[in-house]
Structure 1
Amino acid sequence: MIELHYWPTPNAHKVTLLLEELVDAGQPLPYTIKPVNIGTGEQFHPDFLAIAPNNRMPAIVDTAPADDGAPVSVFESGAILLYLAEKTGRFLPQDLRGRTATLEWLFWQMAGLGPMTGQYGHFNVYAPEKIPYAIDRYTREAHRLLGVLDKRLAGHAFLVGDEYTIADMACYPWISPYRTAPIDLDAYPEVRRWCDAIRARPATQRAYALTKQVNPQAGQPLTDEQRRTLFGTSKP
């Protein structure tokens, strides 16, 4: 059993994408969701910090690890994807070149696409004041990274050729995730085509359906208290 400590953030979506794809691949990992309401500060509770010391979504506990030993906890979404892919032998190519390419794009997302798009969202959506330099800086960087992704996808169904991998699952949730500050994807036809293909997958639809099940208030503006909890500040 996988215990998934979860709130519907882009990084948490990565893990539910994989868990639901494993169902369709015929190798399901039973999992249970343990909601962690980041708007009320549950990510700072000692029990959660014991498995996720960086107090960020998501984290897992594998109660039946491959070595038959004590439960294994994993934090950081990229590490979780890699752990589950290796545990099941799915969505991570076994050949040298395919594995290497998958890890390259997984780490690219973790080091670039996620952080830069996250900063784009923070300064466009959540910051208590508009800072033109920051907005321009992260808008340009988000577009640069989308350009890199678009070039990679030209002639490829997915990031690693025809095989859908954890690299795709890592990147997809970070493509224009902010409804109130959408990024225009017209200049990136390959990214749009790739997004459409992933969005149409049954596993993707099930994974994203968990959003409202876990957080019925998803999509609503943050309250001042939620802003203070998440960012240490409030809207003026």
Structure 2
Amino acid sequence: MSTTPDTRWAVVTGASSGIGAATARKLAAEGFRVVLGARRVERINELASEIDGVAVALDITDPASVEAFVERVETCNVLVNNAGGAKGLAKVADADEDDWRWMWETNVLGTLRVTKALMPKLVASGDGHVVTVTSIAATEIYDNGSGYTSAKHAQGALHRTLRGEHLGEPVRFTEIAPGMVETEFSEVRFGGDAERAAAVYQGLTPLTADDVADVIAFAVTRPSHVNLDFIEMKPRDQASATRAHRQS
């Protein structure tokens, strides 16, 4: 990383696709230099070339990977905790502990590791901002989704706690909680079953990754005294995690 006093650096996790990739592009367009972190290095290398960013391999479930990643980040003004995901739709009675373990490692402990490691640099920047992408599942529950909703509730609680713990310090905290967004999310949840994933969005117009990226960029480009604490966003046709209007 080469930097100048005027350079504002943003770190985006899960930057290889979906909301993460869209956010990296949007922040670059807003004048940030972006460090892209993800496991799929070929994808972030390509995106980094496109936006004049820096691609660094990152597996947020691996403490050693997080440590190596953070060592490459000299300065951090904005951190976007985007990496996460869901696996399966099982009842509690049929819960797969490996799926639960992956969801908690990715959504909760991964967010903890990256945020904890970068917080000193965010504060030292004199104008830091942590954005955590959770979900409406961070405040709602639904049948067969307890592994994901419990992880997202915990991730949201982690993020919101930071607001009080760092009150008075030069760092802001924004939680973005999207509803239905058409990305690779559902394909991951359903183990690569593209047909089942597509059915999630049938009959309505879901949010896109760019929609969420626009909101993230808006939040981090407000004046430094303005903190947008919590932003929930859903498609017009979605009222909650369990209620949506679909065209027949």
**TM-score over 0.5 for the alignment?**
no
User: Greater helix share, 1 or 2?
Assistant: 1
User: Greater strand share, 1 or 2?
Assistant: 2
Pairwise TM-score range, normalised by the shorter structure: 0.3 to 0.5
TM-score normalised by structure 2 residue count: 0.36
